[in-house]
Amino acid sequence: MKFGVITFPGSNCDMDMIYVLQDILGNEVENLWHKDHDLKGVDAVVLPGGFSYGDYLRSGAIANFSPVMKEVIEHANKGRYVFGVCNGFQVLCESGLLPGALLHNDNQKFICKNIYLKPESSSAAISKHLDPNKAYKIPIAHGEGRFYADADTIKSLNDNDQVLFRYCDENGNVTPEANPNGSLENIAGVTNTGKNVFGMMPHPERASDNVLGNEDGRALFESWLELV
């Protein structure tokens, strides 16, 4: 699969994502710029984490108006893959490609630590090959990661198997205590109805290299690539 990783002004996880996709997993990767009008024939677009445009106005709000987003939206609407992590997830929600919004953490603090995720969707490529009984240890680093949507949207996400991951404890129990930011129903990631657009707050690219002592994040990419 050929991936395109977008760099916005303020992105800081773009090179981490490129390293994992290219050097760890052996895929071809294009580094896309936010002003590009050409996705260079990629199969999948990745919006990395960071602080696009300094998170001014609202996280992801200004990046949504970058020229490249017109191409990303067209790419997604054709049923092709788009993946947003952390700030990238925020951008996808701002663009309307994913439902819901990411609000300030309920403790009003920036949170940077390892958490655990329980795979939920059995039909989305990024989670369907994961062990639903395993708690995956993945880092988070965000100040606005509290997933919110109205009651009808939450019901639709649950009914259509669109919840990718929920925050859980190390034993896989989804509890209020395991929720780091106050997200509704412990939701850590969602997909669209077509199951081709993924968004999540935790950073799997930061847990994909054995040098770091944690490869749980690599399993998510391998599920997507159907290597597991």
Tell me the per-residue pLDDT of 188-218, one tens digit each, with 9 for 90 and over. 999 999 999 999 999 999 999 999 999 999 9
Q: How far apart are CA 173 and CA 72, in angstroms?
A: 36
- Averaged pLDDT for residues 2-26: 97
Active site residue 168: no
Q: Is the dihedral of CA 160, 145, 133, 222 positive or negative?
A: positive
Any residues with CB less than 8 A from the CB of 117 and at least 6 apart, and which?
Answer: 135, 136, 138, 165, 166, 167, 168, 188, 189, 202
Query: Which secondary-structure segment (H or E) carries 140?
Result: strand 136-142
Phi and psi for 158 in degrees, rounded to 5?
Answer: -70, -45
Question: pLDDT at residue 228 above 80?
Answer: no
Tell me the per-residue pLDDT of 174-193, one tens digit each, with 9 for 90 and over. 999 999 999 999 999 999 99
Tell me the per-residue pLDDT of 15-63, one tens digit each, with 9 for 90 and over. 999 999 999 999 999 999 999 999 999 999 999 999 999 888 788 999 9
Going by pLDDT thresholds of 50, 70 and 90, the confidence category of residue 67 is very high
Going by pLDDT thresholds of 50, 70 and 90, the confidence category of residue 227 is low
Active site residue 205: yes
Q: Residue 30 corresponds to which amino acid?
A: E
Tell me the per-residue pLDDT of 83-124, one tens digit each, with 9 for 90 and over. 999 999 999 999 999 999 999 999 999 999 999 999 999 999
Q: How far apart are CA 228 and CA 30, in angstroms?
A: 24
Any residues with CB less than 8 A from the CB of 192 and at least 6 apart, and which?
Answer: 76, 97, 98, 99, 162
Domains of the chain, CATH where assigned: 2-224 (3.40.50.880)
Closest CA to 158 of 190, 128, 129: 190
Closest CA to 125 of 188, 195, 77: 195
Q: Which of 13, 34, 71, 86 is catalytic?
A: 86
Going by pLDDT thresholds of 50, 70 and 90, the confidence category of residue 161 is very high
Q: Which of 34, 75, 142, 203 is catalytic?
A: 203
Structure tokens at 140: 């988070």
Active site residue 86: yes
Query: Using CB atoms within 10 A of its CB, is residue 124 exposed (0-12), middle (13-18) or buried (19+)?
Result: buried
